[in-house]
Structure 1
Amino acid sequence: MHSTSCSVPSSRAQQGVTLIGLLFWAVLLCSAALVIMKVIPAVTEYRTIVSMVNKVAKEGGSTVPEIRASFERSRQVEYGVTSLTGRDLEITKEGETVVVRFAYDREIELISPVYLLIKFEGQSK
């Protein structure tokens, strides 16, 4: 008589991603992507405003109305600058240097009624 040995599969714990884990990571990644896609235009606009403010502080004129008018002309040329106008600029002179400061809030709707509030501020160099 032959003895047959049956090989029994070892009882190792399975490793892998569960459906719940997969859904959790999918929701997390989609939420992060949504926030990034909504924030990028606001940051791009801020960077454009900073460059416009630096330009008008150097070349915009010597009086407050001239600098505001120069900023408004730049705003007409630049696409997408809607958060700030020439009236919102704080213009001072420190020594012989014109300093232009600004501050504004940008509210971004993520999923109604959830909003993200970003506070931007800056000044000319």
Structure 2
Amino acid sequence: MRGSRRESGFSLLGLLVTVLLAVGVFVPLVKVVPSLLEYQSVKRAAYQAKTDGSSVQTAIAAFDRQALVDGVQVVRGRDLDIQTNANGAVDSVRFSYRREILLYGPISLAIQYSGTAQ
């Protein structure tokens, strides 16, 4: 009767591969999350610029105020693409920027962020 029972579970090699895969997914995710939060702050500031802006200059000032509150440093008010209507009121506020995130050694992740507040 001895030897008829087969044991199941992780082998040492299986555990090592599982841990390496988990780290390979978890580390880039942890490094990308701050960039995504920054993007949300830029979107919020662009929406604020669209809402408060009665002209291009007031939209730029509104964006810069909100960006200062949120700690946004990747985009400034002068970098925005602000579209106005025939009356001079702000129709839309567009932004675009690139973020490079160092992952492992010489490997990095380049993300192109863009958005429009209408």
TM-score (norm 2): 0.86
Measure, in 2, the Cα distance between the counterparts of 1:90 and 1:97.
11
Deviation at 1:97, TM superposition (A): 5.0
Deviation at 1:73, TM superposition (A): 2.0
Measure, in 1, the Cα distance between the counterparts of 2:40 and 2:8.
47
8 Å Cα contact 2:59/2:90 also seen in 1: no
> Could you tell me which residue of structure 2 aligns to residue 90 of structure 1?
81
8 Å Cα contact 1:58/1:98 also seen in 2: no
Deviation at 1:94, TM superposition (A): 4.6
What secondary structure, in the 3-state scheme, does the structure 2 residue paired with 1:115 have?
A: strand
What secondary structure, in the 3-state scheme, does the structure 2 residue paired with 1:11 have?
A: coil
Measure, in 2, the Cα distance between the counterparts of 1:56 and 1:97.
9
Query: Which structure is larger by alpha-carbon Rg, 1 or 2?
Result: 1
Amino acid at match of 1:87: R
Q: Deviations over 1:99-123 (max 9, x none)?
A: 0001111101112211011111100
Deviation at 1:11, TM superposition (A): 3.2
Deviation at 1:83, TM superposition (A): 1.4
**Quick one: percent identity of the two aligned structures?**
33
Amino acid at match of 1:84: V
Amino acid at match of 2:117: S
Query: Residues 20, 10 of structure 1: CA spacing in aligned structure 2 closer, same or farther, 3 A cutoff?
Result: closer
Given candidates 56, 62, 82, the residue that maps to 1:70 is 62
8 Å Cα contact 1:104/1:121 also seen in 2: yes
Amino acid at match of 1:67: A
Unmatched 5+ residue regions in structure 1?
1-7
Deviation at 1:13, TM superposition (A): 3.9
Amino acid at match of 1:17: F
Deviation at 1:53, TM superposition (A): 0.6
**How does 1:1-125 map onto structure 2 within 5 Å?**
8-62=1-55, 64-79=56-71, 81-94=72-85, 98-125=91-118
8 Å Cα contact 2:32/2:101 also seen in 1: yes
